[in-house]
């Protein structure tokens, strides 16, 4: 389910917001929406600058992995792994939030209890071991982490974060931004919790 009813429009808007907020680089990060009724997954494209995305750039795949339109993100396997691991998942956002990455490099994981916006929306926060971006191995560790923990916020070691929602892509974006804000607060307080 999307917010506007148009998954392509929602993906374009979310990717632009991620870029404007400084949570992804100009060609970084990705997002997807799973329309369960059609079995289609709408996904941000590979290689297109986030500030220049259009609805025509959005790729369309089947939940089984067949590309129907466009050039999906190189992280497409990871997105499909989320939808396989949690049948309730409807939207995925992956980014490279600087404060969160800095916190995890220092050995910290944000405590959801420290910020109401995270506590209310994060089932929990888990770490997935490193696997190369875009690889089948990354999809596997993400799936295993979700199935093993039930968390909807996954820290990808040396890579970034993946957040998913059973509601809308804007719900996933809101949670990702809240986790990044929490990481900044922990930094301002002097380090890992």
Instruction: Give the residue numbers marked as catalytic.
Output: 75
Residue 56 CA, distance from chain mean position = 21
- Positive or negative, the CA dihedral 9, 93, 16, 68 is negative
Ramachandran bin of 108, using left for φ above 0, alpha for ψ from -120 to 50, beta for the remaining angles: beta
CB atoms within 10 A of CB 108: 16
Residue 120, φ and ψ in degrees, nearest 5 = -75, -25
Joined together, the tokens standing for residue 165 give 């929602």
The whole-angstrom separation of Cα 126 and Cα 141 is 11
Question: Could you give the 3-state DSSP secondary structure of residue 61?
Answer: strand
């Amino acid at each position: 389910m999307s917010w506007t009813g148009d998954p392509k429009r929602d993906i374009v808007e979310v990717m632009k917001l991620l870029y404007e907020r400084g949570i992804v680089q100009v060609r970084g990060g990705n997002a997807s929406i799973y329309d369960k009724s059609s079995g289609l997954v709408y996904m941000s494209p590979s290689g297109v600058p986030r500030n220049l995305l259009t609805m025509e750039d959005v790729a369309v795949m089947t939940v089984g992995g067949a590309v129907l339109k466009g050039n999906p993100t190189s992280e497409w396997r990871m997105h499909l792994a989320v939808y396989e691991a949690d049948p309730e998942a409807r939207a995925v956002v992956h980014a490279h939030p600087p404060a969160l990455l800095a916190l995890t490099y220092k050995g910290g994981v944000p405590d959801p209890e420290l910020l109401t916006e995270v506590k209310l929306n994060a089932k929990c926060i888990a770490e997935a071991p490193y696997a190369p971006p875009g690889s089948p191995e990354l999809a596997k560790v993400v799936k295993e982490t979700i199935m093993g923990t039930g968390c909807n916020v996954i820290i990808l070691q040396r890579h970034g974060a993946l957040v998913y929602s059973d509601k809308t892509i804007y719900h996933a974006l809101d949670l990702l931004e809240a986790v990044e804000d929490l990481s900044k607060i922990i930094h301002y307080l002097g380090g890992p919790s």
